[in-house]
Amino acid sequence: MTIIELIKQPWPWYIAGPLIGLIAPALLLIGNKSFGISASLRHTCAILIPSNISFFKYNWKREMWNMVFVLGILIGGIIASVYLANPNSIIINPALKADLSNYGITEINGLLPTQLFSWESLLTLRGFIMMVVGGFLVGFGVSYAGGCTSGHAILGISNLQWPSVVATCCFMIGGFAVVNLIMPYILSL
C-alpha cells in the first residue's frame, strides 16, 4: 500500500485522536500559542471591518499566525477533498439510516442528508432552523463560552483548566439534549 492510498483510507480514532490531541501541546511548545479556531472570526472582522467597535480594537497583527493556521486548514481541506478523497462510499450505520428515513430523510450525500443541508432546503422551515438558527446558536454559544468545542476540549482540558472542563461537559450535555429532545421535533417539520 502506497502512502497516498494509506492517507485516503479512514483512520481509526486511536490514531486520528492522538494526532489531533498533539496539536495543542505542539503549538504551546513551539510558539507558546493556544489552539482554537473560533478566535479567527474575530481576527477576520478586526482586519476587514476597522470600525469603532471596542471588541475589534486590539492588536490583531500579533495573531496573524492564527489566520495562517486557518488558511492552512482551508487549503488542506481543499487538497484532501479534491486529491485525497476516499473513492469508497461512506458506510453509515443501518440503524441511523432507518431512524432518518422515519423523518423522510433518505438522500445522503457523503455524510450530509441532502434534505437538510442543501440550498433548496434552506428555503424550508426545517432547513432554515437547521442552518440559520442553528448557526446563530453555535456562534452565540462559542462567544458566551469563551471558545469553541475544540479550543476547550483539546487545549483547555489539556491545560487542566477547570472552566474548559465545565464548558466541555455542558457542550456534551447540550448536544445530547438537542439530539434526543429537540432534533426529532425539528426533523418532523
What is the pLDDT averaged over residues 124-142? 85
4 falls in which pLDDT band (50, 70, 90)?
A: confident
What is the pLDDT averaged over residues 102-119? 79
Query: Domain locations in the chain?
Result: 1-88, 92-189
Alpha carbon distances (Å) from 36 to 65, 88, 121: 12, 32, 31
What is the pLDDT averaged over residues 27-43? 79
Share of the chain above pLDDT 90, in %: 10
7 falls in which pLDDT band (50, 70, 90)?
A: confident
pLDDT of residue 159 exceeding 80: no
169 falls in which pLDDT band (50, 70, 90)?
A: very high
Mean pLDDT of the chain: 83
CA distance 87 to 170: 37
pLDDT of residue 84 exceeding 80: yes
What is the pLDDT averaged over residues 62-90? 86
Query: Residue 176: what pLDDT?
Result: 93
Alpha carbon distances (Å) from 27 to 18, 43, 61: 14, 18, 18
